[in-house]
Chains A and B, each alone.
Chain A
Amino acid sequence: ELKVEQNPLFLSMQEGKNYTIYCNYSTTSDRLYWYRQDPGKSLESLFVLLSNGAVKQEGRLMASLDTKARLSTLHITAAVHDLSATYFCAVGLGGSEKLVFGKGTKLTVNP
């Protein structure tokens, strides 16, 4: 059974600071996704990572994937208030079409 663990689950940070959210998963996977969710809204796709060593960046967010360690990171650089949201990683189970989500990281960026 594929288990996906995110940490931290809650993150409060100041504007301008850097931080990293971690996503560990338990079995072989062939794809990993990062999503953003604002309160009361649907999920917005941020990144799709398909291979070991993949790194993608968009604005102040950068995601990476290490398939050997079964670990993905979402790095936040010089955080701004607009990044406040809940961030989810989701992992595709290798050989299956299932997509399993972590519990999410609620990020609050304070002025």
Chain B
Amino acid sequence: NAGVTQTPKFRILKIGQSMTLQCAQDMNHNYMYWYRQDPGMGLKLIYYSVGAGITDKGEVPNGYNVSRSTTEDFPLRLELAAPSQTSVYFCASRTVTEAFFGQGTRLTVV
């Protein structure tokens, strides 16, 4: 039972580069989320999705894009990476009652 799988685990980007953080879940959950966690801070919601084809902005969506073409996958796209996007990114999916988190992607923009 894989749960929520994020790839890659670590990545270093140069300023202005782009990349996609992958998130996949095998629990058939409709709800999926992307959060970022800055050092010593809580989690801030970037984007979320309530089902395939439906996405919405969270607290800090600027500089990011998402898509949800299938129930399983919810990739997060960074365009024109900036140092302010250095963070740990967590993907989560949930049932009505419980949320499950991936292991995180540690991204550094230099």
A-contact bits for B30-74, CB 8 A (1 contact / 0 none): 010101000001111100101000000011000000000000000
Of all chain B residues, which has the CB nearest A33?
B99
**B42 adjacent to A45 (CB under 8 Å):** no
Segment of B12-20, B78-86, B101-109 in the binding face: B101-109
**B97 adjacent to A98 (CB under 8 Å):** no
Query: Chain A contact residues: over half helix, strand or loop, or mixed?
Result: strand
Q: Give the A-B contact count at a CB cut-off of 8 A.
A: 46
Quote the shortest CB–CB distance from B104 to chain A (angstroms).
Answer: 6
C-alpha spacing A88/B45, complex, angstroms: 14
Interface residue total, chain B, C-beta cutoff 8 A = 23
**B33 adjacent to A48 (CB under 8 Å):** no
C-alpha spacing A34/B95, complex, angstroms: 16
B-contact bits for A16-44, CB 8 A (1 contact / 0 none): 00000000000000010100000001110
C-alpha spacing A98/B33, complex, angstroms: 9
**A99 adjacent to B99 (CB under 8 Å):** yes
Q: Which chain B residues border A101 with CB–CB below 8 Å?
A: 35, 42-45
Q: Which chain A residues border B58 with CB–CB below 8 Å?
A: 98
The one of B45, B90, B103 that contacts A98, using a Cβ cutoff of 8 Å = B45
Does A75 sit within 8 A of B, measured CB to CB? no
With contact pairs A31-B97, A45-B98, A48-B98 given, residues A100 and B104 touching in the complex (Cβ less than 8 Å): no
C-alpha spacing A41/B102, complex, angstroms: 10
**B101 adjacent to A42 (CB under 8 Å):** yes
**A104 adjacent to B45 (CB under 8 Å):** no
Interface residues of A in 46-105 (CB under 8 A from B): 48, 50, 88, 90, 97-104
**A31, A41, A101 — most chain B CB neighbours (10 Å):** A101
**A88 adjacent to B43 (CB under 8 Å):** yes
Q: Which chain B residues border A102 with CB–CB below 8 Å?
A: 42
Query: A-B pairs with the 5 shortest C-beta distances?
Result: A103-B42, A101-B43, A101-B42, A43-B101, A42-B101
The 17 sampled A-B contact pairs (Cβ below 8 Å) are A41-B103, A42-B101, A43-B90, A45-B98, A48-B98, A98-B45, A98-B48, A99-B48, A100-B59, A101-B42, A101-B43, A101-B44, A101-B45, A102-B42, A103-B41, A103-B42, A104-B42
